[in-house]
A and B are shown apart, each in its own frame.
Chain A
Amino acid sequence: MLFRSTVYALPRSLTLLLAVALPLSAWAAPADTKPMPLGMTVTTKSVKARHYFEQGLAKEWTLHIQECLENMRKAVVADPNFALAHVLLSTFSQDPIEQVSEMEKAVATKKYASREEQLIVEWFSNSSRGQWIPAIQAMNTALQQWPGHRELQWLAGLWLTGQQQWARAIPVYQRTLRLDPEFPDAWNNLAYCYARTRQFDKAFAAMKKYTELLPAEPNPQDSFAEISRMAGSFEEAVSHYRASLTLDPNFIESQLGIGDTYALMGDEPRARKEYAIAIGKTSKDDQARAVLWSIQAAATYVREGDFDGADAAFQTQAGQAHENGFGNLEAQAYRSMAMYQKDSKKAAEWLAKAEATLDEKHKVAKQFVDQERAVILRTRVYRALQDSDLAAAGAALEQLRQLADTTNDGNVAMNLHSAQGALLLVQGKIEEAIPLLEEDDRNPYAMKGLVTAYEKAGRNADAERTAQNLAGFNEPVMEQALVVPQFRKDRVAKKPDQQTTAIRGGRIL
């Protein structure tokens, strides 16, 4: 699955064979770039850099992320002026410091790249700063100019997916697949888009195609597992995760997935055990994921109501994040602690600590600092409403509004709208609350508020649809832990005779 930048119009199987068979020394060093029939242009004067880049991308497509990153890092070492490698390394990296430094290098070196690559750098660099209009303009200009470049289409699908524009990403992936019906990652991502829009039949059909294309790869099994989990089929999910690990015991995302699934099933000790295995397998230079997964593991204590255990675990992870300079993750750990505290004063203290952490000097992209600050302020609003303190809720909302005024970041705006909607709902301004809550459609707090708002507005069908979505919400995050299990219990208690929508273990029966 290499870019056809050195081998023109050869069948892909032959391209792959050549790529594998030819030693690096046999490759002619291309001094320029040319658009290929199916691939975007790649500009580097280094044969080694090109090789690492192509290997890295091929690894990305099969979700061997660490190997992808290692290859991309080698590519930019081999050619420090390789703008496309810098921008993709920044995009795929999960280390906030590397994200920033590589994006800076991509911008600095784009002058050496082709027009297509320059547009990709403009697109992703603007996006990383929340400059959505020039980002979208660059993306669409590239797509219109090179409609036959499958990697470009794929990147656009990926970006739209990152913006949670699932429905918009679907036709983009379909175009990618028209260019290359055997592009596995496009099938994979298409399946997720269908699943996110709750079109599970289409999701499983796309996933089947993906699995058939890569029978020996772990990721299709891993993806099958995640979509099964989203559909509430936990046992099938664990079984697919195990199949993935059988194919590749080092595919640690599947190990994480097993932890997530047990957490959602309510077997928290088992979940922690599985998480620990996943965290233990992360590499030394992959501390961001280790911290992130440890925060996920800490949430298992919340799920079993052991708040002292949760406090200890989150504080440990905040310390780890601090040591590594991951200010946003440190703040996330403190903010998570505020979410389950019974004592509002304690919750306020943790939120203050989370905000203070963000104010410290660290090299996390402003985008991520803003986004975490927005979630902290949203949490302040929720906590204040829980205490019926409308003045405090209004004050936090005003801070959030001021933050939103300083950035184009849609994530920040969505948190503002969600918090606004929650306050309006409490104030009885139902019609105004509904469109705001509808925006935050993957946040169980907002979904729960929306169910209430719809009911009060007499929109019973909408209320029932949203209630079903919330009851079937199976993502291993704190908001799910704090809202969904209780919501399921309340729902069954309220409507014990409604077997068609009864929820058992998250599965819609």
Chain B
Amino acid sequence: MTIGKHLRALLFLVLFSGVSSEAKQLAVIVDKANNVSSMTAVDLTKMFKFDSHKWPDGRNVVVVLYDPTSPEMQTAIQKLYHMQPEEFKALLAAHQSAVVIVHSEDELLKSVQSIPGAVGLVDVYSINSRVNVLKVDGKLPLEQGYFLKGN
């Protein structure tokens, strides 16, 4: 009965109500110096498609992404890019100076934390205090109707 008891302690037995769903929700993260706290999905998409290059404070946008072939990128490709994998790779190749490709969550978090103007996408359960999390269309990850949610 162990887990049941822990759950009861943590949630006071809301039997079917947990933040269930192992569906991944991606947090949009930026460095702590970034004073932007919220974006529309439209503006976010423009940024990740390299259609907008500057933050309001004038810094260049640097997009930090996982390897496009990784499973972590599938939600992003589906929600933000609406592209076939080959198109997506070509887009990245055309904007090499504005994109950093990483191969681990740790690398992604460290890159966003340390590169001025960086923006990245990471599983919400991996965020730490060294980065800021942006609202998208007024919502944070795990809120009802959040945009970057995989199924």
Q: Is the CB of A63 within 8 A of B5?
A: yes
Would you list which residues of chain B between 1 and 27 have a CB under 8 Å from chain A?
Answer: 1-23, 27
A133 contacts the other chain (CB 8 A): yes
Which one of B18, B127, B141 has the greatest number of beta carbons of chain A within 10 Å? B18
The answer to whether A442 and B127 touch (CB under 8 A), given A133-B140, A371-B14, A413-B143, is no
Give the distance to chain B from A113, nearest Cβ to Cβ, in Å.
17
**Least CB distance, A488 to chain B, in whole angstroms:** 19
Instruction: Determine if B130 is an interface residue (Cβ-Cβ < 8 Å).
Output: yes
Which A residues lie within 8 Å of B2 (CB)? 63, 185, 188-189, 192, 219, 222-223, 226
Interface Cβ pair total, 8 Å cutoff: 163
Residue of B nearest to A477 (CB): B15
Residues of chain B lying within 8 A (CB to CB) of residue A141: 128-130
Contact B141 A133 (CB under 8 A): yes
Report the interface size for chain A: residues with CB under 8 A from the other chain.
Answer: 73
Instruction: Tell me whether B124 is interfacial, beta carbon within 8 Å.
Output: yes
A92 to B11, CA, bound (A): 10
Alpha-carbon distance A160/B133, docked complex (angstroms)? 20
Is there an interface contact between A408 and B128, defined as CB atoms closer than 8 Å? no
Distance (whole angstroms) from the CB of A370 to the closest CB of chain B: 10
**Contact B23–A189 (Cβ < 8 Å):** no
A165 adjacent to chain B (CB < 8 Å): yes
CB distance B16 to A443 under 8 Å? yes
Pair B6/A161 contact, Cβ less than 8 Å? yes
Bound complex: CA A254 to CA B4 (Å): 12
Chain B 29-55: CB-based contact to A (< 8 A → 1; otherwise 0): 000000000000000000000000000
Known: A138-B129, A165-B22, A442-B20. Contact between A411 and B14, CB under 8 A? yes
A285 to B144 CA separation, bound complex (whole angstroms) = 37
- Report Cα–Cα, A26/B8, bound state, in Å: 37
Task: Considering the complex, give the chain B residue whose CB is closest to the CB of A61.
Answer: B2
Q: A160-B125, A189-B2, A372-B14 are in contact. Are A413 and B9 (CB under 8 A)?
A: no
Choose one: B1, B12, B133; the contact of A256 (CB below 8 Å). B1
Let me know if B115 is at the binding interface, CB within 8 A.
Answer: no
What residue in chain B is nearest A122 (Cβ atoms)? Answer: B129
B18 adjacent to A133 (CB under 8 Å): no
- What chain B residues lie within 8 Å of A368 (beta carbons)? 11-12, 14
Are A375 and B18 in contact, CB atoms less than 8 angstroms apart? no
Is A91 on the interface with B (CB-CB < 8 A)?
yes
Q: Which residue of chain A lies nearest to B15 when distances are taken between CB atoms in the complex?
A: A477
CB of A346 within 8 Å of the partner chain: no
Flag B65-109 by CB within 8 Å of A: 1 or 0 each: 000000000000000000000000000000000000000000000
CB within 8 Å of B: which A115-166 residues: 132-133, 136-138, 140-141, 144, 158-166
A412-434 toward B: CB 8 Å interface, digit per residue (1/0)? 11111100000000000000000
Distance between Cα atoms of A63 and B130 in the complex (Å): 35
Q: Which residues of A contact B128 (CB under 8 A)?
A: 137, 140-141, 144
CB of A102 to closest CB in B, whole Å: 12
The answer to whether residues A440 and B14 also contact, given A91-B9, A408-B140 and a CB cut-off of 8 A, is no
Any B CB within 8 A of the CB of A398: no
User: In the complex the two chains form, is A133's CB within 8 Å of B20's CB?
Assistant: no
Q: From B8, which residue of chain A is reached at the shortest CB distance? A: A94
Interface pair A439/B20, CB less than 8 Å apart: yes
Pick from B1, B14, B129, B140: contact of A253, CB below 8 A.
Answer: B1
Most A Cβ at <10 Å: residue of B8, B16, B19, B124 = B16
The residue on B at minimum CB distance from A96 is B12
B144 and A163: CB pair below 8 A?
no
Q: Chain A residues near B18: list those with CB within 8 A.
A: 162-164, 410-411, 414, 442
Measured in the bound complex, the distance between the Cα atoms of B18 and A144 in whole Å is 25
> Are B6 and A168 closer than 8 Å at their CB atoms?
no
Q: How far is the CA of A219 from the CA of B8 in the complex (A)?
A: 16
Chain B positions within 8 Å of A, measured between CB atoms, are 1-23, 27, 124-130, 133, 140-144, 151
**Which 6 A-B pairs rank lowest in CB-CB distance, beginning with the nearest?**
A410-B19, A162-B10, A164-B18, A411-B17, A192-B3, A439-B21
Selected A-B contacts with CB under 8 Å, 24 pairs: A63-B2, A132-B19, A132-B142, A133-B140, A136-B125, A138-B129, A140-B129, A144-B128, A159-B10, A162-B6, A168-B125, A188-B3, A189-B2, A192-B3, A223-B1, A223-B2, A256-B1, A292-B8, A411-B18, A412-B17, A413-B144, A416-B144, A439-B23, A442-B16
Interface residues of A, Cβ cutoff 8 Å to B: 63, 65, 91-94, 96, 99, 132-133, 136-138, 140-141, 144, 158-168, 185, 188-189, 192, 196, 219, 222-223, 225-226, 253-254, 256-257, 292, 328, 365, 368, 371-372, 374-375, 401, 404-405, 408-417, 435, 438-443, 475, 477-479
